[in-house]
Chains A and B, each alone.
Chain A
């Protein structure tokens, strides 16, 4: 499957020569799951619209889910269920409604559904905190995009090694111990280095947002 370099919505340039074979296999299985479940009368244009809208909003939805379910694996699960639910219900989506708002509300239900399935001791937050966090997303919405942009720019200003540490630390499945061993640092040192980098990024973001009168 030929591909060519393009940019994602963050402006981060990525270069992908081909889609790896194992990925196309997963794609086929996953898409079969979606398509096989129900095509629910979506036209090709509907599907294209869904992909476009989802691409534009998934970043915010993922951040939302992750804040309510602060565990990578669990958040991925809820995020996937949200994606599937949105896809299934897309024929009912009103074009006049903001897709992001709709997607966030569906994500919220999926979080609640997921919480119901969990034993109480697996839940990090109580209902009150969940509601407070969910509400805060709405309050921060006006600066969210600006913050994404500032973070992207600040990330580019990091030293190569700092950028690499962030990239490796946040890679799915990363073990902090293994990461530390591979770069000759203790686990504590990895965490400490990460905290320092993140603190400098926060300062950089604040400066940029203040400069743009958004902080």
Chain B
């Protein structure tokens, strides 16, 4: 159930074996499949794998350093200065025949250094040493006093040699799905570099960019963007989502009426043709500032938004809560993309509650066709829905539309959630076994035999052991009971509050999902 984040020597050892086979080109398809399964089984496995690869690359470096310096027919000293008998003749000769690319790169680096030094007319003392790690040999060059490198000259080098401002390419298009470019925009293919000052005007399709400064951005057409700097994009209109790594912190999206500054996060921005800006934070936090481009108001009007919050900012600067949004409004970065991501939900047309007015900023998220393994369960937590065992999420629920509510609402005694259903549907509620079953549920819904698992993240846990795992039946912390109700015509269904029935972990907010009624009935017929 709860998996402690500890190192497993058995797992590491097997990973090591599989990695070694891969590196040497000796892995079978079954080995590759097993490696993938291991890596996907739990987050710790990826960490172990990266460490093992890093170690292997260092060993390769040790080995190359030794063999390079020794050369054919020579002996070298190892790092400890002890004699090291190198490879036997047959192995060594094959090594040199192969002339590995890293070896060539090494050589190129050395030669480059030499060319550099010889191109200077100064009275140089040249010292080229080879050795090192990481598949390429180190090159240290001592030139004249002003050009000494590798010896405390970093700052001077930066001052004198490296350009300060980036005016060129700052990002790469890594994906362009069904993109139709506007007539005023030259086509930009996948893996094209894009530059500061460049405009991207697409009338449809979806584009993915990776900035050199650790920012990944998805843009959905119609959209008009301009890259203003390595860390700033202007969005005239359109929808985009950005995922910002540590090195990209501070990345900014400017819009006609404001500016969104990343604070280490994943967020979505939608700018409509009139210039209103909607912002939703999926993880982390952003600062939202109001103001025309050259006259952003003082930080006092800055609004900080955190995970689960979403606001619309009108041209006059007034901000309103975006009560709910669905995945058609913002591209998502989740790898487990819902099959029907990008289309609005035909089932849930609105969600609202009696708690939040226009002042609050948290928003329900509707995910069309999105219920599957490892999807986020709540807008304000990283908990995930999963099958309770290896057979996975019950088949009728797979691919269902679902709503991400607030786990923080589990303690509200007067909660009333209004879910508007736009077509005949079967509505599901997932209820924690720790909750006292409320009357609104027993009155309107029927308890099924189905269960769905919640894999809790440790973000708010007071005890260790809440680690997310990938796939069904892994690290399931609580098994929720599934209740259902058929809704024969479009209507608004009101769901109420929950209370904790007894002490224990696993008391979380209920989940909400739905499938079209005809799909549910077809499933019933097949099951019977």
Q: Which of A22, A112, A172, A179 has the most CB of B within 10 A?
A: A172
Within A76-102, the residues touching B (CB, 8 Å) are: 76-77, 79-80, 83, 89, 91-98, 101-102
Contact status A49-B157, CB under 8 Å: yes
Report, as a range, how many residues of chain A touch the other chain. 35 or more
Among B132-140, B405-413, B477-485, B492-500, the one that faces the other chain is B132-140
Q: Give Cα A195–Cα B111 distance, bound, in whole angstroms.
A: 37
Contact status B134-A5, CB under 8 Å: no
Within B50-90, the residues touching A (CB, 8 Å) are: 50-51, 53-69, 71-72, 76-82, 84-88, 90
Contact status A132-B46, CB under 8 Å: yes
Contact status B213-A97, CB under 8 Å: yes
Contact status B62-A129, CB under 8 Å: no
Contact status A8-B137, CB under 8 Å: yes
Which residues of B sit under 8 angstroms from A148, Cβ to Cβ? 54, 58, 133
Q: Which of A76, A147, A191 contacts B101 (CB 8 A)?
A: A76
Known contacts A8-B129, A45-B161, A171-B91; is-contact A63 B57 (Cβ 8 Å): yes
Contact status A48-B53, CB under 8 Å: no
Q: Give Cα A91–Cα B161 distance, bound, in whole angstroms.
A: 9
Known contacts A26-B103, A173-B95; is-contact A15 B76 (Cβ 8 Å): yes
Contact status B136-A62, CB under 8 Å: yes
Contact status A4-B58, CB under 8 Å: no
Among B112-120, B300-308, B352-360, B450-458, the one that faces the other chain is B112-120
Contact status A54-B101, CB under 8 Å: no
Contact status A70-B158, CB under 8 Å: no
Known contacts A70-B53, A101-B213; is-contact A22 B157 (Cβ 8 Å): no
B230 to chain A, nearest CB (A): 7
Q: Give Cα A175–Cα B82 distance, bound, in whole angstroms.
A: 25
Q: Give Cα A147–Cα B58 distance, bound, in whole angstroms.
A: 10
- Chain B residue nearest to A72 (CB atoms) is B23
Count, chain B residues at interface, CB 8 A: 131
B437 to chain A, nearest CB (A): 37
Within A175-215, the residues touching B (CB, 8 Å) are: 175-176, 178-179, 182, 191, 194-195, 198-199, 201-202, 206
Contact status B132-A172, CB under 8 Å: no
Which residues of B sit under 8 angstroms from A97, Cβ to Cβ? 166, 212-213, 230
Contact status A79-B76, CB under 8 Å: no
Which residues of A sit under 8 angstroms from B366, Cβ to Cβ? none
Contact status B113-A51, CB under 8 Å: yes
Which residues of A sit under 8 angstroms from B23, Cβ to Cβ? 66, 70-72
Which residues of A sit under 8 angstroms from B126, Cβ to Cβ? 2
Which residues of A sit under 8 angstroms from B181, Cβ to Cβ? none
Contact status A76-B79, CB under 8 Å: no
- Chain A residue nearest to B137 (CB atoms) is A8
Contact status B116-A62, CB under 8 Å: no
Does B182 sit within 8 A of A, measured CB to CB?
no
Q: Give Cα A13–Cα B69 distance, bound, in whole angstroms.
A: 10
Which residues of A sit under 8 angstroms from B91, Cβ to Cβ? 168, 171, 173-175, 178-179, 182
- Chain B residue nearest to A206 (CB atoms) is B7
Does B339 sit within 8 A of A, measured CB to CB?
no
Contact status A167-B62, CB under 8 Å: yes
Among B143-151, B197-205, B273-281, B502-510, the one that faces the other chain is B143-151
Question: What are the interface flags for B182-219 relative to A under an 8 Å C-beta threshold, 1 for contact and 0 otherwise?
Answer: 00000000110000000000000000001111100000
Q: Which of A7, A51, A61, A198 contacts B109 (CB 8 A)?
A: A51
Contact status B116-A182, CB under 8 Å: no
Which residues of A sit under 8 angstroms from B60, Cβ to Cβ? 72, 170, 172
Q: Which of B12, B88, B131 contacts A8 (CB 8 A)?
A: B131
Contact status A128-B335, CB under 8 Å: yes
Q: Which of B50, B149, B150, B166 contacts A136 (CB 8 A)?
A: B50
Does B49 sit within 8 A of A, measured CB to CB?
yes
Does A113 sit within 8 A of B, measured CB to CB?
yes
Which residues of B sit under 8 angstroms from A136, Cβ to Cβ? 46-47, 49-50
Does B25 sit within 8 A of A, measured CB to CB?
yes
Known contacts A54-B109, A136-B47; is-contact A195 B13 (Cβ 8 Å): yes
Contact status B17-A48, CB under 8 Å: no
Does B441 sit within 8 A of A, measured CB to CB?
no
Contact status B32-A138, CB under 8 Å: no
Q: Which of B12, B94, B116, B191 contacts A51 (CB 8 A)?
A: B116
Contact status B154-A48, CB under 8 Å: no
Q: Which of B20, B22, B112 has the most CB of A within 10 A?
A: B112
- Chain A residue nearest to B116 (CB atoms) is A47
Contact status B65-A8, CB under 8 Å: yes
Contact status A164-B133, CB under 8 Å: no
Which residues of A sit under 8 angstroms from B40, Cβ to Cβ? 128-129
Which residues of A sit under 8 angstroms from B158, Cβ to Cβ? 49, 95
Q: Give Cα A93–Cα B166 distance, bound, in whole angstroms.
A: 7
Which residues of A sit under 8 angstroms from B88, Cβ to Cβ? 178, 182
Q: Give Cα A147–Cα B111 distance, bound, in whole angstroms.
A: 31
Q: Give Cα A116–Cα B407 distance, bound, in whole angstroms.
A: 41
A146 to chain B, nearest CB (A): 12
